[in-house]
Structure 1
Amino acid sequence: MNSDAVTSLAGTFAALYGAAPDAYFAAPGRVNLIGEHTDYNEGFVLPFAIDRVATIAIKLQETGGVRRLRVASTQGGPVVEAAFDGLVPESVAPWARYVAGVFWALEQQGLPMPGADVLLDSSVPIGAGLSSSAAIECAVGLALNTQLGLGLSREELVLICQRAENDFVGAPTGILDQSASLLGTAEHALFLDCRSREAVHVQLPLEAADLALLVIDTRVSHAHDSGGYKELVAACTRGAQELGVPALRDVGIERLVEAQQVLAPQIYRRVKHIVTENQRVLDTVELLGARGPAAIGPLLTASHVSMRDDFGISCDELDLAVDTAMAAGALGARMTGGGFGGSAIALIPAARADDVSAAVREAFARAHYLAPEIFSVIPGPGARQL
């Protein structure tokens, strides 16, 4: 966000709340390059922070008196206000729960929170599978940690923001999204072991390799707190229990034949995706180090096939985006994010970006789908104070 945008945000904040904000913070959305639904199965993921962010202006209340939280968005609508004592999700509008939940989660850690005024502005598309929710949570978490001098590490903030999403918003997600937003660095992906929480930055030099990564937002909205996501979590938990392991992370490729014999067909397909996806993440990291990003295309495409056929989280629009991008010259393509809509990504030679974009738009028009939003992303920095 440039200085003019910050000035505009300050003016809107003052008009809403009658005072200037204390500070401004931004946190990015993310693209998950590969490793879908493996995070809550204690597996491996490879996301990166993108150059689209949620930005907040914040002013903390003086201590004493009744604590209240007021949240507004530059997209319009009324100011959401809730008494902070006894804060519950039902007392806050759904979109503002991602803000309120972070205050709640920090209090659950024994860190008393003041009331606050918050104004949100975001360039991360909502419902596109780019983790607009985690971007909000991480901007708020970093703001409170900084302004209150809480002394929490970014790794600790990941868990705070995950708790906000899991236990306040009610979405049973893993740590992928918050880790990418808080720990991301420019020109790198984040290789994350979701069991140990060890994170390693892996070079992802797209521009230097004359590559582009297109995001194809199908504009089919999804939500992590929907029933479909929870059913997938339950299926994975059941599969691990029936195979006698703590998590599907502990099932290797060699056990899939056995798993097919002992699991119900649908549970087996869910397990198969997680097991093979973990291996694809490991293979992608190895290829990036040995041969660079141009070599990983087939792994991306194989990941989409697995999500479509085994995990059941694709949709017609996502499949059309992937198939069309591949036919137009992409090196690899897959849906990204939780599924049931959202976005696909396509790894393409930079010179083919306009051709691939045009082909996808034409295919969507022929199918009478909503026109997709298509844009390129690069690995950007993580959450920061402006």
Structure 2
Amino acid sequence: MTAGVWHAPGRVNLIGEHTDYNDGLVLPFALPQGVTVEAERRDDGLLELHSGHQTETVPLEGLAPGAVKGWAAYVAGVAGCLRDAGHEVGGATLRISSDLPQGAGLSSSAALECATAVALSDLYGGPVADLDTAGRMELAKVAQRAENDYAGVPCGILDQSASMLGRAGHALLLDCRSGLSSQIPLALGDHRILIINTLASHSLGDGEYANRRAACEKAAGILGVPGLRDVKDLAGALMKLRDPELRRRVQHVVTENHRVEATVGLLKAGAIPEVGALLTASHLSLRDQYEVSWPEADTAVDTAVRAGARGARMVGGGFGGSVIALVHRDRIETVQQAVTAAYTAKGWRTPLYLEAVAAEGARRIA
């Protein structure tokens, strides 16, 4: 196999935010939108990367964290991590395109990493179509290491897993400690998941994400547990923590894991409207306990719920990006109009709207 086209989707995380790096539970699903990579082998040991009007050339020889900067680090990092994992990846020309908005909290970076991973794996190994769940999870971990080591973002495994393991019509229940996953039917009936892109762009490389992760690790150390996922007695744990910031972080993580479990139960029972209250509770926790929300998100959530949405919350790492709202199909236009009016009143740009549909994970498309 010397050439082809591969696609990896972005994701929406239905619920389970900032739980992945705490060994917790998450419930994302893949989107139809994502990153497409047209790739072919080359025999000179170089990665030639094209994205829009930008071109970067990266030698594979000596490739290591810190050697590549900017967007190219996400791509070259995947090649480096594949080689470190024992995959015999050689040179390649990769032409990258995307219909996923950057900075919207829909994981454009993981889509880029996973599209690169399946392309290079296909070019220099077995067909990605033959990968089982374990093989896809291995590539997800490679993509995660690339973001951690080469891009400098200490993300968990959520985004890459959703992009690699997504299935049409399903959400992915993932245990981020064991790596075990199951597909949960996302049968919404007359309801829809509306993405509201607040147009407040974010960057996880600015230190705030890393600060949250460090606080969780510090709290786990004080509590004597491997991860905050292991906290069973929340009241007792909060009493042991003197730092009010650490108490807030722990309270969010522990209750968010409970919300994931409750959401799965409601989905299995077909109680779709009741999921909305859990989404809103998640947002309030992210706003008040984890402190990663932003004004445009808070306004979108409050306005959408007042306009008839069953519930809404910010998604992604925070500090910018998108909100999701669970809305009856007959109320979608009303919700959109209300949110737009609220933004206009504050002098903000009109947000962008997109209905979220659960789609297939990373794959070869041509």
Same fold (TM over 0.5): yes
Q: Match of 1:249?
A: 229
Q: Match of 2:63?
A: 87
Structure 1 residue 375 displacement after superposition: 1.1
- Distance in 2 of aligned mates of 1:323 and 1:82: 46
In the alignment, structure 1 residue 210 sits paired with structure 2 residue 190: yes
**Residues 288 and 295, structure 1, Cα contact 8 Å, conserved in 2:** no
In the alignment, structure 1 residue 41 sits paired with structure 2 residue 22: yes
- Spell out the pairing of 1:3-14 with structure 2 (5 A cutoff): none
SS at 2:204 equivalent: coil
- Distance in 1 of aligned mates of 2:219 and 2:293: 21
SS at 1:85 equivalent: coil
Q: Match of 2:293?
A: 314
The amino acid of 1:229's aligned partner reads Y
Q: Match of 2:94?
A: 118
**Residues 212 and 376, structure 1, Cα contact 8 Å, conserved in 2:** yes
Structure 1 residue 261 displacement after superposition: 4.2
Q: Match of 1:235?
A: 215
Structure 1 residue 272 displacement after superposition: 0.5
Q: Match of 2:281?
A: 302
Q: Match of 2:50?
A: 72
SS at 1:324 equivalent: helix
In the alignment, structure 1 residue 271 sits paired with structure 2 residue 253: no
Structure 1 residue 195 displacement after superposition: 0.6
SS at 1:50 equivalent: strand
**Residues 39 and 45, structure 1, Cα contact 8 Å, conserved in 2:** yes
Between 1:170-179 and 1:289-298, the stretch displaced more is 289-298
The amino acid of 2:339's aligned partner reads V
**Residues 187 and 267, structure 2, Cα contact 8 Å, conserved in 1:** no
Structure 1 residue 68 displacement after superposition: 1.1
**Residues 187 and 378, structure 1, Cα contact 8 Å, conserved in 2:** yes
**Residues 234 and 251, structure 2, Cα contact 8 Å, conserved in 1:** no
- Distance in 2 of aligned mates of 1:79 and 1:36: 34
SS at 2:360 equivalent: coil
In the alignment, structure 1 residue 129 sits paired with structure 2 residue 110: no
Structure 1 residue 88 displacement after superposition: 4.0
TM-score, normalised relative to structure 2: 0.95
Q: Match of 2:146?
A: 164
Change (3 A) 1:258 1:136: closer
Structure 1 residue 91 displacement after superposition: 4.5
TM-score, normalised relative to structure 1: 0.90
- Distance in 1 of aligned mates of 2:227 and 2:327: 35
In the alignment, structure 1 residue 182 sits paired with structure 2 residue 160: no
Q: Match of 1:103?
A: 79
The amino acid of 2:300's aligned partner reads A
- Distance in 1 of aligned mates of 2:48 and 2:239: 52
- Structure 1 unmatched runs, 5+: 1-20
**Residues 300 and 332, structure 1, Cα contact 8 Å, conserved in 2:** yes
Task: Let me know the Cα RMSD of the aligned residues.
Answer: 1.4
Residues 283-328 of structure 1 deviation map (CA, whole Å, 9 limit, x = unaligned): 1111111133222010000000000000000011110010010011
The amino acid of 2:209's aligned partner reads Y
SS at 1:346 equivalent: strand
- Spell out the pairing of 1:367-386 with structure 2 (5 A cutoff): 367-386=346-365
Structure 1 residue 146 displacement after superposition: 1.6
- Distance in 1 of aligned mates of 2:239 and 2:57: 51
Q: Match of 2:10?
A: 29
The amino acid of 1:166's aligned partner reads N
The amino acid of 1:213's aligned partner reads I
Residues 329-374 of structure 1 deviation map (CA, whole Å, 9 limit, x = unaligned): 0001000000011100000001111111111111111111122111
- Spell out the pairing of 1:275-294 with structure 2 (5 A cutoff): 275-294=254-273
Match of 1:361 among 337, 340, 346: 340
The amino acid of 2:212's aligned partner reads L
Between 1:96-105 and 1:233-242, the stretch displaced more is 96-105
The amino acid of 2:120's aligned partner reads L
- Distance in 2 of aligned mates of 1:192 and 1:112: 29
- Structure 2 unmatched runs, 5+: none
SS at 2:145 equivalent: helix
- Distance in 2 of aligned mates of 1:166 and 1:123: 24
Q: Match of 1:59?
A: 40
SS at 1:192 equivalent: strand
